[in-house]
Every structure is written in C-alpha cells, then in structure tokens.
C-alpha cells in the first residue's frame, strides 16, 4: 500500500476516490458497513475525510480486495486489530508508569541522601 497521501487536513470524496482507487459509491457503502470511520460533514454537507480515514480506507481495501476477506471478516479483523493496539498501548503505559515510579524513588533517595 504505497500510496502517497497529500499533506492536507480534509479531502472531498472525489479526492479520496482518486487517491485510493475506490469509487465514491463504494466509500459511502463502506461508511455504513464499517463503523470505524465516519467522515465529518462540512457546512455544504459534503463529506470531509481526514488522513486517518484515507489510511483506514486503504486498509479496508487491502483486506477485501487483496486478502480476500468478506465484509464481516474485515470488520472482525479491524475490531481485533483495534483491541490488540489498545492492549499494546496499555502495556506501554504500564511500563512507562513503572519506569517513572522508579525514577521518582531514585530522585527521592538522592535528595534525602540515601543510597
């Protein structure tokens, strides 16, 4: 998935279609099937995709077209990936807190003159 996403804040559905190679009606269908992305709508009621939405579209496209997942299978794969990422974040947060606690203890011992 070596797709160059321009450095912009918002993209219209036509731009997303051109970048990802997915037709606009398919993008609208995926929005209804995958709760993971719902582009904002501007004043003109046009969809405004963000870079993260485009990355998700590319991931869904890969799951469906290249890896042969069904819609339900791709939905489950995305859910599982999100759970794994949350678990990894939790482990990283815990490790960071333990390291911080250790640093505070060392600083407290240093300031009190204890080894």
pLDDT digit string, tens, across residues 36-80: 778 888 888 888 999 999 999 999 999 999 999 999 999 898 888
What is the model's pLDDT at position 18? 94
35: CATH: 1.10.1660.10
Smallest CA-to-CA distance from 1 within 67, 62, 57, 56 is with 62
What is the model's pLDDT at position 1? 56
Range of the domain at 84: 80-115
Quote the CA–CA distance of 19 and 54 in Å, as a whole number: 8
Residues 55 and 88 in one domain: no
53 lies in a domain?
yes
Quote the CA–CA distance of 113 and 50 in Å, as a whole number: 53
Residues 64 and 95 in one domain: no
């Amino acid at each position: 998935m070596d797709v160059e996403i321009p450095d912009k804040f918002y993209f219209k559905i036509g731009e997303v279609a051109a970048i990802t190679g997915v037709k606009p009606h398919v993008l609208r269908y995926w929005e209804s099937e995958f709760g993971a992305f719902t582009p904002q709508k501007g004043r003109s009621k046009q969809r405004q995709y963000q870079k993260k939405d485009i990355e998700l579209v590319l991931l869904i496209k890969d799951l469906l077209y290249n890896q042969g997942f069904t819609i339900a299978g791709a939905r489950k794969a995305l859910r599982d990936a999100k759970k794994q990422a949350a678990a990894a974040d939790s482990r990283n947060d815990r490790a960071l807190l333990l390291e911080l606690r250790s640093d505070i203890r060392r600083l407290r011992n240093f300031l009190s003159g204890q080894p």
